[in-house]
Structure formats: C-alpha cells, structure tokens
Amino acid sequence: MALKNDRYTYRVTWSEDDNEYVGLCAEFPSLSWLAKKPEVALRGVRKLVEDVIKDMHSRGETVPEPIACRQYSGKFLVRVPPQIHRKLAIQAAESGVSLNRLASSKLSG
C-alpha cells in the first residue's frame, strides 16, 4: 500500500562507494535505500518513508511536513564576512541595483 498523497522530496543518485543507486528523502535525511536500478532505489526509499511514517503515527510522534507543502516568506538571513559584504555592496552600486536584488540574482543563477 503506497503512502496516500506522498508529497515528499525524493532524489536518486549514484553511490560510487556502494556501487549502487541510493534513494534519499530530503525530509528524512537519515533514511536511504540502495539498489542496482534507480527505479528500485526510488520505490525502496518511498516504501521506507511510508513505514517510518506509520511507525511515527503509532507512537504519536510529529511527522515532518513535506517541503513542497510548506509556506516560505521569501526572507532569510545570510551572514558573510565583512569584506564580502563590502564587495557585494560595491557590485550592487556599480550595477545600479539594491544589494538585495544583486544577492537574489546570484542565488537564483
């Protein structure tokens, strides 16, 4: 039985150390599933997440909300060394844009 409304964030990548594909879930970073084929790794980690969620429910634990369902404000604080802050401020001024717009552009690129 598949997890109803599974909206978690999955990724399958190659593991050179294991010589297999590894299925991962961003919301459950301690979980993984190894398989020879990427499709099997994805199915495996999805089933593992389903089993863990069932166990969490039975224990009354809080299940992580899928990243895709979370609301984001569009704001976060980034700390950089003063010399980088100065360099970015100069670049922004020379480009005629705000520091925020320059940083946003660099992060999205």
Do 15 and 57 lie in one domain? The reply is yes
Q: Domain of residue 100: give its range.
A: 73-108
- In a shared domain, residues 26 and 54: yes
Give the tens place of pLDDT for each residue, 79-94.
Answer: 999 999 999 999 999 9
Note whether 38 and 78 are same-domain residues.
no
Same domain? For 42 and 91 the reply is: no
Q: Are residues 96 and 62 located together in one domain of the fold?
A: no
Q: Does any domain span residue 33?
A: yes
Same domain, 14 and 62: yes
In a domain, 3, yes or no: no
Q: Is 49 within a domain?
A: yes
Structure-token match 């634990």, residue found? 61
Instruction: Report pTM.
Output: 0.76
How many structural domains is the chain composed of?
2
Same-domain check for residues 17 and 37 = yes
Look at residue 24 and tell me if it is in a domain.
yes
Closest residue by Cα to residue 24 from 13, 16, 15: 13
- Asked whether residue 15 falls in the same domain as residue 64, the answer is yes
As a whole number of angstroms, the distance between CA 3 and CA 50 comes to: 5
60, two tokens: 């009354």
Q: pLDDT (tens digit, 9 = 90+) per residue, 30-56?
A: 999 999 999 999 999 999 999 999 999
| Nearest by Cα to 27 from 79, 76, 67 | 67
- Distance between CA 18 and CA 36 in Å, rounded? 10
